[in-house]
Amino acid sequence: MKMKKIDIYEVGPRDGFQNIKEYIPEATKKEIIDGLIASGIKHIEITSFVSPKAIPQLRDAQDIAKACLETYPDVDFLALVPNLRGAQTAADVGIQRIAYVVSLSESHNKANINRTHEQSYEALKEIMTQCPQLDIILDLATTFGCPFEGKFLPEQVVEFLKQYVELGVKQVCLCDTIGIANPRQVKDIIAAVWEAYPQLDLQVHIHDTRNMGVACTLAAIEAGVTKVQSTLGGLGGCPFAPGASGNLATEDLVYTLNEMGYDTGVQFEPILQLAKQEVKAIPTGVYSGHHIRIDQTSKCFR
């Protein structure tokens, strides 16, 4: 008998690919996305609508988005946007859900997107005013700690989110940007946020810097979260956060949840084989901030 449904949000085509210096051919990106969908993944952050000068790897954002939307009209595709222009481009190509990043740490916010907290708030307000049709997920970076400012208390998270909830934000992803969270901290912050804002739809995005990705994601699930993010092969990591390594690997997450009886809707063997194909298609030598090894027990890539 299956336990509760857990929705896995695959963010590799954006978060995983963006740090790779050598351009990944558009055909390769599409093949990986095809494989993700074939394995049962229903929610995918496929790209980011940013300046090609800022992230050359994602210069094909519009082509990738258009192709995916045309081929898979029933899949939930998301894109990250940094500003109004990005949001408008996303809407123009047919994307209906976007992620918008702001960091709980103002130091990291300035390093990551070159904005103060006030500027980030005003930019999101502008997006919500000009593009009211878009479904927005607020990605709260450094929720569990910052390389510049250290860890934050649950009440700091709650207080920071107040103006965004009042603005109309309904979905928030709590992000462990550098992978320093622990299960108890995850549960405490989720409990505090939901006590203050029970109407919020919460997700978590956990990095695997200290091999705590699965443990912290399970803690979030035990706290009631049913939407969790990961990347195929564990690719990714914030280039503006010293010490950040890869994300939680989708294949590790799928294996763990399926074995525990959760209903992910994702098949483990296909997702594992896809991770292996990804490694062959994207030379490990060009990975930034992440290494891949094979776990001797599950044969999963981290």
Point out the residues that are catalytic.
Answer: 238
Q: Indicate the number of domains in the chain.
A: 1
Lowest mean pLDDT of 91-95, 122-126, 169-173, 179-183, name the range.
179-183
Residue 300 lies in a domain: no
Residue 299 pLDDT: 30
Residue 1 lies in a domain: no
- Asked whether the predicted pLDDT for residue 283 surpasses 80, the reply is no
Residue 112 lies in a domain: yes
Residue 59 pLDDT: 96
pTM: predicted TM-score of the whole model, two decimal places: 0.91
Residue 285 pLDDT: 44
The overall average pLDDT reported for the chain is 90
Confidence tier at 149 by pLDDT (50, 70, 90)? confident
**61-71 vs 26-39: helix crossing angle, rounded to 10:** 40
What residues contact 77, with CB distance under 8 A and at least 6 apart?
A: 44, 45, 46, 65, 68, 69, 95, 97
Domain of residue 30 covers: 7-286
Domain CATH for 238: 3.20.20.70
What residues contact 275, with CB distance under 8 A and at least 6 apart?
A: 232, 233, 249, 250, 251, 300, 301
Residue 302 lies in a domain: no
Lowest mean pLDDT of 103-107, 241-245, 296-300, name the range.
296-300
